[in-house]
Amino acid sequence: MSAALAFLFPGQGSQAVGMLRDLAQAHPLVGETFAEASEVLGRDLWRLVDEGPKEELDRTENTQPAMLAAGVAVWRVWQAAGGPEPQAVAGHSLGEYGALVAAGALSFVDAVAVVAERGRLMQAAVPPGAGAMAAIIGAADADVVALCEAQAQGEVLEAVNFNAPGQVVIAGARAAVERASEAAKDAGAKGVVALPVSVPAHSSLMRPAAERLAERLAGVALAAPQIPILHNASVAPEPDPVRMRELLVRQLYSPVRWVETVQRLAGEGAGLAIECGPGRVLTGLGKRIDKRFKTLPVFDPDTLATALEAANAA
């Protein structure tokens, strides 16, 4: 796999009321993409994204289809603008579904239906308020893993997102996450940030949701990707649709290995990556993981023009 240009799709946490508004005004494809998603969902997804309220957009079952549509909308605008095709794609957590659409492995309509169900299943797997997530800043990966083992005390508590050196997200039972957060501060972590999410994603508390997701994915058509996609659970491309389904199920209760993903892309020649969706979360992480890995966000006309110029000059 050669990855001179890579496309990265962000997941939950990058959403915001008003996201892609300027891009939508310049490119009707954005509105058309959200209209397509709205038809699948039976509700006006663009209105929620454009007007809020934030609390409703931040609900997992709404965030997931909204972020999927945002990533695919940017991808379609890029293609319509004549942007070069990437040699590899990857997505952070939920973003993996946007990467699958871009790679031609999953139709957008099917992806919208699947992620909406994925969000509902995740929301239903843990009672409201019973789970939590927090980012531990300034601690080594091994120290965070050991912290989780020490503070679990019979409850679920796991390191679930290896986002960048010195940034690891933990998830599990709320009380356990709170214990670990205090212990991390006492141990000298530079910071602990409680994440505003409604489910403890990628922890083993998501196994019931994963079992139901497997049933849902069994009826969804997947094809061999036309562009290699690095999966969260394996950090490797997978041409077999049967195996791809297994990786999507496993992803729900397994860590997001983002550091390894970026390192592999950089190691295989990716000199430029495009963050395909709102915000700059993956752009910031990429700088911290590998200085060789230049990432440019695309979420409005100006960032699109900058990224197109850089990609065409590469």
> Which residues pair with residue 211 across a beta bridge?
none
Among residues 14, 38, 93, 203, the one annotated as catalytic is 93
Q: In 3D, which of 117, 76, 94 has the Cα closest to residue 9?
A: 94
- The answer to whether residue 231 is catalytic is no
Q: Quick check: bond before 53 cis, omega within 30?
A: yes
- The answer to whether residue 202 is catalytic is yes
Strand 167-173 relative to strand 157-164, pairing: antiparallel
Among residues 27, 92, 202, 231, the one annotated as catalytic is 202
Residue 163, Cβ neighbours under 10 Å: how many?
22
- Distance, in Å, from the CA atom of 49 to the CA atom of 314, rounded to the nearest integer, reads 34
Residue 99, Cβ neighbours under 10 Å: how many?
30
For the record, the structure tokens of 214 come out as: 């497997």
Q: Are 94 and 11 in contact (CB under 8 A)?
A: yes
Q: In 3D, which of 256, 314, 248 has the Cα closest to residue 289?
A: 256
> Residues with catalytic annotation?
93, 202
